[in-house]
Amino acid sequence: MSTLTINAIRKSYGAVETLKGIDIALESGEFLVLLGASGCGKSTLLNIIAGLAEPTSGDIRIGERSIVGVHPKDRDIAMVFQSYALYPNLTVHRNIGFGLEMRKVDKAERDRAVHETAKLLQIENLLDRKPGQLSGGQRQRVAIGRALVRNPKIFLFDEPLSNLDAKLRMEMRTELKRLHQMTRTTVVYVTHDQIEAMTLATRIAVMRNGRIEQLDTPEKIYNRPATLYVATFVGAPPMNLLAATAGEGGLQIDGSDIVVSVPGLESAAPGRRLVLGIRPEAIGKADGVLSLSARCEVAELTGPELVVTAMVGNQRIVAALPASTKLQAGDAIVLSADPAAFHVFDAQTEQRLN
């Protein structure tokens, strides 16, 4: 039995359909990340799960029970907001305990739970302060504490880290991962940060225009993206996309005489327009199966690697090479890649072919 079942959820605002049929089944203890560009409907979906918005059609179940139309407080969920949404006039202690207080949990029990949660999040020394006297990271912890203390079936997070600076964001990311491994609760987490998605999720749902493009494990999303959109959304620097055509001996890269045979693509009708995707980090220097002669245009040292932009035929390609590589603009190089790491998409339908 799934903990959370989302069934054919649709949501319209007036004539605009924001969610166009969402299906998700979540097992207990899963960490689902909703990943997608701004405006694709992530928050809308999360608010529908929370009960802060009602779906136009479709069903949501927590366990066996349908929760459509059920008041947010009776759904056994807790939510962490992007803005933290702490009550500014209440102390940290009361902020965390507010949900229990409203549920008439007696004071001694409440205090115990608040202290336990505060200890877990290392904010015991902040309990008497007001939110205005806290730093961004501390507020974030309080917001998480407020959700944690209630011990709900499902946690909902709406971009909880996006207001933090880069360093703090990484720390909190690790912290969240640690918390999840410890508590093993079910989480639905919204973000548009692909690193967050890759590191935290047990499964990722990549959303686009109110639909789920792919719902899979981070490894699958990265290694076998189902559509061109998913392929370009995940990975930095983004995947190289080369225009190509299906031919007799395999796939021919447009604007060059390079022909590659890609496993699983034998059935593609000759002449079919294709897109060949190669991740920058899957490209090496002259030790793979396929060799591409290229001319280096720009070489940027990022620290751990050298990001090289080069021309293959008349198409641009980006490769992430070891930092020790000696290269300058204008140099001729031979790049290599393994066809096993190739991603081939239909140029028309944008669906994966291999």
Partner 1 sequence: MSGTWMTTRAWLLMLPLLIIMLAVIGWPMIDTVRLSFTDAKLVGAAGNFVGFDNYLKMLGSSNFQRALWATTWFAVVSVTAEMVIGVLAALLLNQQFYGRTVLRALLILPWALPTVVNATLWRLIYNPEYGALNAVLTQIGLLDSYRSWLGEPGTAMTALIIADCWKNFPLVALITLAALQAVPRDITSASLVDGAGSFARFRFVILPYLAGPLMVALVLRTIEAFKVFDIIWVMTRGGPANSTRTLSILVYQEAFSFQRAGSGASLALVVTLIVTVLAIGYGMLVRRAAGSAA
Ligand X SMILES: Nc1ncnc2c1ncn2[C@@H]1O[C@H](COP(=O)(O)OP(=O)(O)OP(=O)(O)O)[C@@H](O)[C@H]1O
Which residues in the 174-233 window bind Mg ion by CB under 5 A? Answer: none
Contact 294, 335 (CB under 8 A): yes
x/- contact string, 101-120, with partner 1 (CB under 8 A)?
A: -xx-----------------
Least distance to partner 1, CB of residue 312, Å: 49
Is the CB of 81 or the CB of 229 nearer to partner 1? 81
Structure-token pair, residue 263: 């496993």
Other CB atoms within 10 Å distance of the CB of residue 162? 14
Stretch of 13-21, 85-93, 259-267, 296-304 contacting partner 1, by CB under 8 A:
85-93
What is the C-alpha separation between 141 and 115, in angstroms, rounded?
Answer: 13
User: Binding residue for Mg ion (CB under 5 A) from 18, 43, 95, 194?
Assistant: 43
Instruction: State the amino acid at position 301 in one-letter form.
Output: L
CA distances from 203 to 30, 45, 104, 136, 190 (A): 7, 16, 36, 28, 12
What is the C-alpha separation between 311 and 329, in angstroms, rounded?
Answer: 11
Structure-token pair, residue 154: 């499902």
User: Binding residue for partner 1 (CB under 8 A) from 36, 41, 55, 99?
Assistant: 99
Residue 332's Cβ-count burial label (10 Å; 0-12, 13-18, 19+) is: exposed
User: Binding residue for ligand X (CB under 6 A) from 6, 18, 290, 292?
Assistant: 18
Which residues in the 32-51 window bind partner 1 by CB under 8 A? Answer: 47, 50-51
The item of partner 1, ligand X, Mg ion, none sharing an interface with residue 85, based on CB under 5 to 8 Å by kind, is: partner 1
Q: Label each residue of 73-119 as H, E or C.
A: HHCCEEEECCCCCCCCCCCHHHHHHHHHHHCCCCHHHHHHHHHHHHH
Per CB under 6 A, does 15 bind ligand X? no
x/- contact string, 172-211, with ligand X (CB under 6 A)?
A: --------------------x-------------------
Helices 136-148 & 166-183 angle (0-180, nearest 10): 20
Least distance to partner 1, CB of residue 7, Å: 22
Which residues in the 27-56 window bind ligand X by CB under 6 A? Answer: 36, 38-44
Report how many residues bind Mg ion under the rule CB under 5 A.
Answer: 1
Is the CB of 71 or the CB of 167 nearer to partner 1? 71
Per CB under 8 A, does 14 bind partner 1? no
Per CB under 5 A, does 18 bind Mg ion? no
Q: Which residue is nearest to Mg ion (CB)?
A: 43
Structure-token pair, residue 247: 């031919």
H/E stretch holding 167 reads helix 166-183
Report the interface residues with partner 1, using CB under 8 A. 47, 50-52, 71-73, 77-79, 81-90, 98-99, 102-103, 132, 146
